[in-house]
Amino acid sequence: MSALNILHVDKTFGNTQVLKDISLAIESGEFLILVGPSGCGKSTLMNAIAGLEPVTSGDIQIGGEDVTWRTPAERDIAMVFQSYALYPSMNVRQNIAFGLEMRKMPKAQREEAVARVADLLQITPLLDRKPSQLSGGQRQRVAMGRALAREPQIYLFDEPLSNLDAKLRVEMRTEIKKLHQRLGTTIVYVTHDQIEAMTLADRIAVMRDGEILQLGTPDEVYNDPVDMFVAGFMGSPSMNFIPVTLVSRDDGYVLRVLDEQDPTGAPLELPWPPAREAQALHEWVGERLILGVRPEHFVEDETRMETSFDGTRLDVMATVVEPTGADILLQATLSGTEVTMRLGPKSQVAAGERVALRVDMSRAVLFETTNQRRVA
């Protein structure tokens, strides 16, 4: 049985429709992550689940019961906010116990619960402090403690880590993952952080303009995107989009890369892997399409022996070289299109030099130019 079931939910503010026919089912114990550009309705959806905003139409079920018109208090949900939203006048202990007190839990049990989550989150020494006496990371823990103490059916996290510095964010991310594995809680989590989304989620829902474009495992969303938006949104640096024309040859399909600047030169041609000749591909012969290749699907030619794939050879001019430490990001022009590539840290490429590369076409994707849907 699904822990949370959202059925055809619409939400309008005045004349703007912020949520458009959203349907979702989340299994008990599942970790669902909502991603999408700013203003796409993620927080609105969270507020609708929590009961902080009424939906315009549609139903919300929690644990099989219809809760569409129940107050937040009646829904058995806890939420962790980006701003933490701790009660400034109460100390940490009271902050954590407040929800239990409101639910009429006896004092002894309340103290037990506070001690339990304080231990779990290692905030026992902070219990008698006021929120104003805590650091950002500590406040974040207290906010989580407040949610955990109640043991609700569903946890909602709205960008809980975005106010923390990079190092603390990674630590808390790991901790949230551990907590989820240990407690088996059902979580809906909003984030802007690609890595947070990929590492934490059981499933990711990619939203845009109040719609869910794709709902799938991190692997599906990353490697098998439904359209150009999802493909471009997931992954950092994002996927390269290269305009091509599909050409049919005796030995299979070929993608001819169009060079707007130099239409007379010999066009670059990339063979489409025979193993991936989709049934529908022949309809697109002679048409313009968009080829999607992720930065890590390029490999420097010298290093080819070390990697398993047998790519197609390319020769490009490096324009910008950005070492990130773990690897090197290379900007280059590929037949007139700016392309980003991720090379190994040992690469000796310098800006202005020509580089020999191989591209792994077996993981490339193709999109329609008009509505940006996936072709193959």
Partner 1 sequence: MDNVIRRRTPGARMLRAGLYALLMVMALVYLLPLVVMLLTSLKPLEEIRAGGLLSLPDSLTFAAWLKAWGSACTGTRCEGLSGYFMNSVSIVVPAVAISTLMGALNGYALTKWRFRGANLCFALLLFGCFIPFQVVLMPMAQTLGWLGLASSTSGLVLVHVVYGIAFTTLFFRNYYVSIPDEMIAAAKLDGAGFFRIFWRILLPISGPIITVSVIWQFTQIWNDFLFGVAFAGFGSQPVTVALNNLVNTSTGVKEYNVDMAGALIAALPTLVVYVVAGKYFVRGLTAGSVKG
Ligand X SMILES: Nc1ncnc2c1ncn2[C@@H]1O[C@H](COP(=O)(O)OP(=O)(O)OP(=O)(O)O)[C@@H](O)[C@H]1O
State the residues that interact with partner 1 by CB under 8 A: 47, 50-52, 71-73, 75, 77-79, 81-90, 98-99, 102-103, 131-132, 139, 146, 150
Does 47 bind Mg ion (CB under 5 A)? Our answer is: no
Q: Does 41 bind ligand X (CB under 6 A)?
A: yes
| Per CB under 6 A, 54 contacts ligand X | no
**Applying CB under 6 A, which of residues 3, 26, 42, 349 lies at the interface with ligand X?**
42
Nearest to 334 by CA among 273, 231, 261, 285: 261
Report, in Å, the least distance between residue 34 CB and partner 1. 17
- What tokens were used for 327? 């690897």
43 binds Mg ion (CB under 5 A): yes
In the complex, what is the shortest distance from the CB of residue 13 to ligand X, in angstroms, rounded to a whole number? 3
Question: Residue 77: which of partner 1, Mg ion, ligand X, none does it interact with, CB under 5 to 8 A by kind?
Answer: partner 1
160 binds ligand X (CB under 6 A): no
Q: Which amino acid is at 88?
A: P
Asked whether position 191 contacts ligand X by CB under 6 A, the answer is no
18 binds, among partner 1, Mg ion, ligand X, none (CB under 5 to 8 A by kind): ligand X
Residue 116 CB: number of other CB atoms within 10 A? 15
Distance separating alpha carbons of residues 159 and 34, to the nearest angstrom: 10
Half-sphere exposure of 292 (CA within 13 A, CB side): 28
- For the CB of residue 68, give the shortest distance to partner 1 in the complex, in Å: 16
**Helix, strand, coil percentages in the chain from 3-state DSSP, rounded to 5:** 30, 35, 35
Minimum CB separation of residue 191 from ligand X in Å reads: 9
203 Rama class: left (phi>0) / alpha (psi -120 to 50) / beta: beta
Sheet holding 2-13, edge to edge: 16-27, 2-13, 57-62, 65-66
Q: Enumerate the β-bridge partners of residue 12.
A: 17
- Torsion-angle region of 372 (φ positive above 0: left; ψ -120 to 50: alpha; else: beta): left
- Residue 43 or 140 having the CB closest to Mg ion: 43
Q: How many residues bind ligand X (CB under 6 A)?
A: 10
Q: Residue 52 has which token pair?
A: 């902080």
Residue 225: contacted member of partner 1, Mg ion, ligand X, none (CB under 5 to 8 Å, by partner type): none
Beta bridge partners of 332: 318, 339
Q: In the complex, what is the shortest distance from the CB of residue 2 to partner 1, in angstroms, rounded to a whole number?
A: 21
Q: Give 221 or 332: the residue with its C-beta nearer to ligand X.
A: 221
Which residues of the shown chain bind ligand X in the complex (CB under 6 A)? 13, 18, 36, 38-44
